[in-house]
Structure 1
Amino acid sequence: MESINVLGKVLNDNARNNYNNGEVLEKNSFVMTSSMNNLASKTNEQAASLEQTSAAIEEITNITRNNTQNATKMASLGHIVKKSVLEGENLASKTAKSMDEINDKVKAINESISIIDQIAFQTNILSLNAAVEAATAGEAGKGFAVVAQEVRNLASRSAEAAHEIKNLVEEATLKANDGKKVSSDMINGYEELNNNITQTIQIIEDVSNASKEQITRIEQINQAVDMLDRFTQ
């Protein structure tokens, strides 16, 4: 009976311990269940966030890719514009050279006009001398006097024509000089424009290269996010 009592006490103690352990286990099960539910909720939130991040990165990738393509097109157009500027600069240089040639021709014309003017002056003097000689000859020199007068009139008209031509040539010289100045200004403008276009093309190419590098990095990030999303799922 004493052994049975001892056994009953041991069994009672074990039952009480099992009951207590059951209560602890139940409490821990509730805590674990809550933790698992919290983990599941956080995981779902993380998965949704990763999906949004992945979509945003994909959109950024598309935008960056479009920017790269546009930068490439801009660089191509910049080279075309630069070529046009170089052609314009060459044309302006040719125009300035033509203006110099025109000035040379104008100088030659001025020299010719000076010669004509001198000839007219000398002819006028000769006609005056001839008129004096005709007057000295009396009746016999009347016909020669008429010829001398006509020669003097012709010399006078030649001098007037030479003077008018000289004025026109001087105006042409001024216009040619103005044209040369305009051509020089155009050349300077084209040179400055060419430098600006060159710098712009360099900047566009740098942006294009940076965008290409950015696309590579973004695609790597996108792959990492996709992998993390799969692991999360």
Structure 2
Amino acid sequence: MGRVIKVIKIAFNVTAQVNLQNEVRQIAENFSLKAKEISSQATTVASGAQSLGATTEEMNASIEELSASIDSIAQNGKSADAIARSTQNEADQGSQAIAKSIEAMDLINKSSEEIAEIVKVISEIASQTNLLAFNAAIEAARAGEHGLGFSVVADEVRKLAERSSQATKDISKLISESVKRVAQGGEISKEAANSFKKIVEGVGKTTLAISEISVAAQEQQTASKDVAQAIQQVADATEKSATASDSIAQATHELANGAEQLKQAVQRFAN
């Protein structure tokens, strides 16, 4: 009876050992399979990380080129802004010069009118002098020989009055032409002033637009640097991820080899 129990116990132990071997073999196989899957996935991740790293390097290079272009645009924008502001100042000075020219023409016109009034007075005086000389000549003729000398003087005065009258007419004509031309020049200056005003307004708008472009370019310049920095951080993180994935793949590969060795050891023990 004791021998039977001993045999049964041995059989039970053998069965338990076989079951344990089977469980260990199954666990080793599953572990080996999962380790291979993890190793494969880690390899895929490492490959993807390397590919992403290459892509980020290309992106970084593109961003650097873009940043260089934006730097150039920003610099050109600053130069254009300075030129536009200088042009606006010159346009303002030109507008002020035209305004002063119009004021000067108005003063000339006013002075011409005053001179015309003076010439008119001179013309009236010359007419009166001519009339007095004519009357004096008549009185000298009545006086006969005694009025001969006075007649000569009266004739000279009359001629002088006629010359003065003619001169005042010529001066009046010249003043009239001068006033006419000054008026035309004033109209042209006013038209030029209006055109210059529009030019100044246009230059002002252009200056404002260029200034906004310059500010936007500087903002883009800052943003591109931030993007380049972020991409560099991504590239660094990707490189670390690729290194870690390689380490994981290597470790899981070693684990898979260990599981395979464990399975083979169990198999040898079972045999």
TM over 0.5: yes
- Give matches, 1:89-168, under 5 Å: 89-168=95-174
Equivalent position of 2:50 in the other structure: 44
Partners in 2 of 1:151 and 1:211 — Cα distance? 85
* Alignment gaps of 5+ in structure 1: none
Equivalent position of 2:205 in the other structure: 199
Q: Given the two structures, how large is their TM-score scaled by the length of structure 2?
A: 0.71
Cα deviation code 1:191-213 (max 9, x no counterpart) = 22222222222222222222222
Partners in 1 of 2:89 and 2:27 — Cα distance? 89
Larger Rg: 2
Query: Superposition RMSD on alpha carbons, in Å?
Result: 3.0
| Alignment equivalent of 1:62, drawn from 65, 68, 73 | 68
1:169: how far off?
A: 1.1
Partners in 1 of 2:18 and 2:146 — Cα distance? 182
* Alignment gaps of 5+ in structure 2: 1-6, 240-271
| Alignment equivalent of 2:79, drawn from 68, 73, 76 | 73
Partners in 1 of 2:230 and 2:59 — Cα distance? 11
Partners in 1 of 2:27 and 2:114 — Cα distance? 125
The answer to whether residue 202 in structure 2 is matched with residue 188 in structure 1 is no
The answer to whether residue 189 in structure 2 is matched with residue 210 in structure 1 is no
Partners in 2 of 1:217 and 1:153 — Cα distance? 92
Could you tell me the percent identity over the aligned residues? 29
Partners in 2 of 1:17 and 1:102 — Cα distance? 120
Cα deviation code 1:139-169 (max 9, x no counterpart) = 4434433333322222221111111111111
1:20: how far off?
A: 8.0
Partners in 2 of 1:33 and 1:86 — Cα distance? 76
Q: Give the aligned length.
A: 233
Partners in 1 of 2:211 and 2:122 — Cα distance? 64
- Larger RCO, structures 1/2 (Cα 8 Å, 6+ apart): 2
| AA aligned opposite 2:154 | A
Equivalent position of 2:262 in the other structure: none
Cα deviation code 1:115-162 (max 9, x no counterpart) = 111112112212222232233334443443333332222222111111
Equivalent position of 2:266 in the other structure: none
Partners in 1 of 2:115 and 2:97 — Cα distance? 26
1:66: how far off?
A: 2.3
Moved more, 95-104 or 183-192: 183-192
